[in-house]
Structure 1
Amino acid sequence: MTTALTTATPAGHRVPRVRGPVRVVLDVHRTALVVWAVALLGGTSLLFRLAALAAEAERGNSACATPPTDGLPSCASVEAITADQTYATGIALVTACLAWLILPVAAWAAAALTGRELEHGTAHLAWTQSVAPTRWLTAKLALPAALLTTGTTALVLLGVWARGKDNPNLVGDWYHPEVFIATGPTAVAHALTGLALGALAGTVLGRALPAAGTALAATLLLRELLERYRPHLWPTVTRDTAGWEVPRSALQVSSDETLVTLHPRSHFWPIQYVESGILLALTAAAVAGTFLLLRRRTA
């Protein structure tokens, strides 16, 4: 005789479980989720460590004199401080990772998120099991978009905090392409655009490797175009150069014998907002195109 044992769950205390297409996305792309979580934890840990080094790095990057005079420290003592090199290298690493995040996101979205499932037929299998194609695609895009938005935003905010006094000798000038992308909302917009373009490429081509290559090429081209035309996204300022030197904090666009055209430091946020708007509009267009193509193929 056997007795069936059951575990009763008190009313009102049900354990929520993720079901449906979202659960499938979590199961199929578990490796990508783990990689993203490890990257976030590693980046967060590194940025906290760098923030703790910021003050010491500033001292190591200060002016010096031999012998020490006028309140300046000895150059020998300054050279003995290596925190500035460690700090600058760490900041540059995080900055580069955020600035180029669009590329791995686009390749993954094209190859694994859509292209591979269409190529192997697993997407069609899901559609035959009462999961509508639009619902399938929504789950495919919504979860990665949410994780990319929250994770990238957290890293950008931590990175800005870790930059301390924003000394360009340590963290780079604001108008440097990688610094510009990694220190504002454009980092999030770039990541979302990579996701959308990758999903579109995977849906159009339906094969993992060709889709990944196409998505990489498209995002590289987009990044180069934005870098080239970024100085023209916001009206410049023209100054007379007579008796005036262009400060390092200004992005010089052009100059002649008497005038210089530039972007002062205060133009950072307007350019950020314009570029982010362009990227989000492109993201919306790519997502809409992906849904439209999927509907036509499954109609």
Structure 2
Amino acid sequence: MTTTLTATTTPATRLPRGPRGLVWAVLRVHRTALVFWGLTLTAATAGLIWLHTIADDARRANVPCAEPAHDGLASCASIEALFVDDIYSDGIALVTTALSYVIFPVAAWAGGALIGRELESGTARLAWTQSVTPARWLATRLAVPAALLTAGTGAVLLLNLWARTDDNPNLVGDWYGPDQFAGIGPVAVAYALAGLALGTLAGLLLRRALPAAGVGFTAALLLHLVLERYREHLWPTVTRSEKGEFELPRSAWQQGWDITWGRHPGEGTPLSTSATFHPQSHFWPLQLVETGLLLGVAALATAAAFWLLRRRTP
């Protein structure tokens, strides 16, 4: 009787390949940042929902008051008249400012933790030996946070607009204020993506976590300052000229005045007045132009990052 032994071979365990494996790796390595991002979004969502519930009270409280109350004016001693509108406006301002400055922590994190630390520690090269090309590695490192940033920032942006109700400037600020403008439109999402791309490029250039975080933050700061400084020039202004004098509405973003006086400047009524300004209807053209510029910066920085990676890897 012959016994035939059949040898069975167990295939070697392989690391997960393809986008799913890389995505999971990114989420695991950066789970602390992911948890922080999730908690931040949760807190912002809860806060904005609550602010929306007190918006009507804040609007009613944001009126002139008198002590004692008379002629239909609320009492200044009323808690509602003193505090509800302040709480509401401060809460909206906090969220709006955070949205306008999201580029800074994103750029520092992308340069320091997302790219710089992995290159400095050798984690990136280890991944490249596991049938993961450098280009795919970088693409995943960019795609995962880009998707999370777009979804999260976009969600908070929409909630912020919902919580602002009727956009009363006395409560939520004027649309052309630096923080307000950058935190109430698609510019907020574009800033986050630009910060991600600039930080990634800094990480690939320096290959060290702390220097890359600093350079990424600095690049984001310079971009933010330049766009804020020249924002008024991104779209042609409107000029209004009339005889005598006139006032522009509060919703107009005033750029300059030209007053023509008679023989004695400063005395009496001016002969004519000319004002240069951005009306509120320019909000969307300005938003879209600045968003386009930011996305262009993000695209250029991303292309430069892939080019640099290709030059530095076999």
Q: Structure 2 matches for 1:125-140, cutoff 5 A? A: 125-140=126-141
Question: What's the CA shift string for 1:78-120, capped at 9, x where partnerless?
Answer: 7744111111111111111111100000000000110111111
Runs of 4+ aligned residues of structure 1 deviating over 3 Å after TM superposition are 64-81
Question: What's the CA shift string for 1:172-213, capped at 9, x where partnerless?
Answer: 110011110110000000000000000000001101111111
Cα RMSD for the two superposed structures: 1.7
Cα distance, 1:243 vs structure 2: 3.5
TM-score by length of 1: 0.91
Residue 65 (structure 2) pairs with residue 64 (structure 1): yes
Residue 274 (structure 2) pairs with residue 259 (structure 1): yes
Are the equivalent residues in 1 in contact too, given 2:76–2:82 (CA < 8 A)?
no
Letter in 2 for 1:256: D
Structure (1 or 2) with the larger CA radius of gyration: 2
Q: Which runs of 5+ in 2 are unaligned?
A: 1-17, 260-272
Q: Which runs of 5+ in 1 are unaligned?
A: 1-16
Letter in 2 for 1:253: Q
DSSP 3-state at the match of 2:65: coil
Aligned to 2:52: 51
CA–CA distance in 2 between the matches of 1:77 and 1:243?
Answer: 40
Letter in 1 for 2:247: E
Question: What's the CA shift string for 1:104-138, capped at 9, x where partnerless?
Answer: 00000000110111111110111111100000001
Are the equivalent residues in 1 in contact too, given 2:45–2:159 (CA < 8 A)?
yes
Are the equivalent residues in 1 in contact too, given 2:19–2:140 (CA < 8 A)?
no
Cα distance, 1:246 vs structure 2: 1.6
Aligned to 2:245: 243
Are the equivalent residues in 2 in contact too, given 1:59–1:78 (CA < 8 A)?
no
Cα distance, 1:151 vs structure 2: 0.6
Q: Structure 2 matches for 1:87-102, cutoff 5 A? A: 87-102=88-103
CA–CA distance in 2 between the matches of 1:128 and 1:67?
Answer: 78
Are the equivalent residues in 2 in contact too, given 1:60–1:78 (CA < 8 A)?
no
CA–CA distance in 2 between the matches of 1:169 and 1:196?
Answer: 36
Residue 230 (structure 2) pairs with residue 215 (structure 1): no
CA–CA distance in 1 between the matches of 2:112 and 2:183?
Answer: 25
Aligned to 1:191: 192
Are the equivalent residues in 2 in contact too, given 1:236–1:263 (CA < 8 A)?
yes
Cα distance, 1:220 vs structure 2: 0.6
CA–CA distance in 2 between the matches of 1:204 and 1:170?
Answer: 44
CA–CA distance in 2 between the matches of 1:76 and 1:239?
Answer: 43
TM-score by length of 2: 0.86
Aligned to 1:298: 313
CA–CA distance in 2 between the matches of 1:198 and 1:277?
Answer: 19
Residue 287 (structure 2) pairs with residue 277 (structure 1): no
DSSP 3-state at the match of 1:248: coil
CA–CA distance in 2 between the matches of 1:78 and 1:29?
Answer: 45
Letter in 2 for 1:243: E
Q: Give the count of matched residue pairs.
A: 283
CA–CA distance in 2 between the matches of 1:76 and 1:26?
Answer: 52
Are the equivalent residues in 1 in contact too, given 2:239–2:277 (CA < 8 A)?
yes
Are the equivalent residues in 2 in contact too, given 1:193–1:279 (CA < 8 A)?
yes
DSSP 3-state at the match of 1:26: helix
DSSP 3-state at the match of 2:246: coil
DSSP 3-state at the match of 2:63: coil
